[in-house]
Amino acid sequence: MKKIYLLAVILLTSFFSVHAQQYGNLTVFSEDGDKFFLILNGEKQNEEAQTNIRVEELNQPYYSARIIFEDKTLASITKNNLMIVDADAKFMDVTYKIKKDKNKKVKLNYYSMIPVQPDFMPPSGMYVRHFGQPAPQTIVQQPIQVQQGGGRQTTTTTTTTTTSNNNNIGASLNVPGMNVNISISDPDINVQGSTTTTHQTTTTHSGGQQQQQQQQPQYTGNCKGWPMAAADFSAAKKTINESSFDDTKLSTAKTIVSSNCLTCDQIVQICNLFSFEENKLAFAKFAFKYTTDPKNYFKVNNVFSFSSSKEELNEFIQGQ
């Protein structure tokens, strides 16, 4: 059995680089937080409107894209020949941004292009879909009411489940002229291929008063969410820092931050990843509306070497 496992590892390793070169990835995000549906080559990528969507394993150099907004007052966007490759026809990680012009008309603009990152860690809030694969199945259970001590307890559970594959290790490689499919069963190994997320809220009604047992986050500033968890933030910094050029670091950082919330200390850490003062300042301005503690934004001034940069950031904040 160990020989079979070793063979599977060797095959996966041997063809990984070829596999990676055959695919590109696309990210589309809304700068203003407008939720939308993304359609690529006539295939709808998300069943629920999102603000930040990443579609992976795109094997065509160009796609026809259509964006339909949840807000019906916003006109849909159609873009033909949306590019997934660079000038040398090499597949890339490409990002497009939805933004409004001065007339409040929404447009889809090219934002950045970086080499494909096989170890990409999606930030919190990003919806990830593998092109051509079924979307995760969502099952919503109806509220269950239970009598407890003269009160009524209501529990609502939402479960999202993807396909599971227990006690199996599987691999499928598709290379021109060669197809390799491996499936190994071992009762001594339990490999969970499914992901289940359960959100439960319990509300107890007693004597005409309602008590919410699930504590809600206390939001501050312009950001309506929790700051990035330590593990997610560490992965985000790694992704930003691996970019070769400072401008690419900046565009990558903006993409990540636009779908997350950060503390001032986290923003300081990202600013210190840039080599040039102007990029530190550009990121500090962009990240302000995504901070959970804007009252502490004075800490960001410590990353600048010139007093003019500090003054420009202070003037920017005062104008918000």
Number of structural domains found in the chain: 3
The pLDDT confidence band at residue 54, using thresholds 50, 70 and 90, is very high
Q: Is residue 107's pLDDT more than 70?
A: yes
CATH number assigned to the domain comprising residue 125: 2.60.40
Last residue of a domain, one of 161, 179, 212: 212
Q: Is residue 12's pLDDT more than 60?
A: no
Residue 314 lies in a domain: yes
* pLDDT of res. 213: 39
Please check whether residues 173 and 276 belong to one and the same domain: no
* pLDDT of res. 64: 94
Q: Is residue 189's pLDDT more than 50?
A: no
User: 145 or 277, which is more confident?
Assistant: 277
* pLDDT of res. 124: 82
* pLDDT of res. 133: 75
Last residue of a domain, one of 78, 109, 131: 131
Segment 213-225 mean pLDDT: 47
Identify the domain containing residue 296 by its residue range.
Answer: 230-318
Residue 218 lies in a domain: no
Residue 223 lies in a domain: no
Segment 187-199 mean pLDDT: 45
Percent of the chain with pLDDT over 90: 45
Residue 158 lies in a domain: yes
The pLDDT confidence band at residue 192, using thresholds 50, 70 and 90, is very low
Residue 143 lies in a domain: yes
The pLDDT confidence band at residue 185, using thresholds 50, 70 and 90, is very low
Q: Is residue 218's pLDDT more than 70?
A: no
pLDDT, mean over the chain: 76
Please check whether residues 250 and 179 belong to one and the same domain: no
Please check whether residues 29 and 112 belong to one and the same domain: yes
Please check whether residues 313 and 289 belong to one and the same domain: yes
Please check whether residues 147 and 241 belong to one and the same domain: no
Residue 14 lies in a domain: yes
Lowest model confidence (mean pLDDT) among 90-94, 204-208, 230-234? 204-208
Please check whether residues 24 and 55 belong to one and the same domain: yes
User: With helix as H, strand as E and coil as C, how does the chain read?
Assistant: CHHHHHHHHHHHHHHHHHHHHCCEEEEEEECCCCCEEEEECCEECCCCCECEEEEEEECCCEEEEEEEECCCCCCCEEEEEEECECCCCCEEEEEEEEEECCCCCEEEEEEEEEECCCCCCCCCCCEEEECCCCCCEEEECCCEEEEECCEEEEEEEEEEECCCCCCEEEEEEEECCEEEEEEEECCCCCCCCCCEEEEEEEEEEECCEEEECCCCCCCCCCCCCCCCCHHHHHHHHHHHHCCCCHHHHHHHHHHHHCCCCECHHHHHHHHCCCCCHHHHHHHHHHHHHHECCHHHHHHHHHHCCCHHHHHHHHHHHHCC
Q: Is residue 303's pLDDT more than 50?
A: yes
Residue 116 lies in a domain: yes
Please check whether residues 120 and 148 belong to one and the same domain: no
Please check whether residues 176 and 145 belong to one and the same domain: yes
Give residue-wise pLDDT tens across range 109-165.
998 999 998 778 888 889 999 888 765 544 444 454 544 445 455 444 444 444 444
Please check whether residues 34 and 146 belong to one and the same domain: no
Please check whether residues 183 and 262 belong to one and the same domain: no
Segment 34-51 mean pLDDT: 95
Please check whether residues 253 and 280 belong to one and the same domain: yes
Residue 185 lies in a domain: yes
Lowest model confidence (mean pLDDT) among 32-41, 124-133, 279-288? 124-133
Last residue of a domain, one of 152, 179, 212: 212
Please check whether residues 148 and 127 belong to one and the same domain: no
Percent of the chain with pLDDT over 70: 65
